[in-house]
Amino acid sequence: MAKLYFYYAAMNAGKSTTLLQADFNYRERGMETMLWTAALDERQGAGRIGSRIGLAAEAHRFEASTPLYERIADEQRRRPLGCLLVDEAQFLSPRQVRDLAEVADRLKIPVLCYGLRTDFQGELFPGSAALLAIADKLIELKAVCECGAKATMNLRVDAEGRAVAQGAQTEIGGNDRYVALCRRHFNDRLRAAATAA
């Protein structure tokens, strides 16, 4: 039975690297894959999944209105899909997460989603909340805080490295905008920023 998986972590845990490795493993065994990534994330170029260690692959792009089930079912009619891999899964809509569950259940294609659990304010992304609610398997990938503890939070920082406590939930960025921290250091940095203001 195919399953819906959610691999989640803070920034810099190697989510995209793990996705690209899974893609390679399927293809190496002669299985077809289909990769997806959020259209709004163009850090690696439009329609590309890339990792900080230099791995990259072309991917289909989704927006909140993309009918994933229909697009994947159409592709499945053209070629047998062994696996579906989704990067930046936090940007999926709840409807799209249900579509992906249907892909696993009705089309019998394993669906591996990779993304952030929470935003820079410690709040769940809508796509992540839906995945945490209905995924068959939840797998936490580990990131490391500056203190050596497990990093679970994503601190947004400004150009000077100061914590940012307000703003839009979605702001694309990498190491220049976000720091993965344990909850204690995340809260310490937010308190320090509030005191300095």
Active site residues: 88
The residues near 83 (Cβ < 8 Å, ≥ 6 apart) are 22, 23, 26, 31, 33, 34, 109, 110, 111, 112
User: Can you name the residues that pair with 57 across neighbouring β-strands?
Assistant: 49
Place of tokens 């692959």: 57
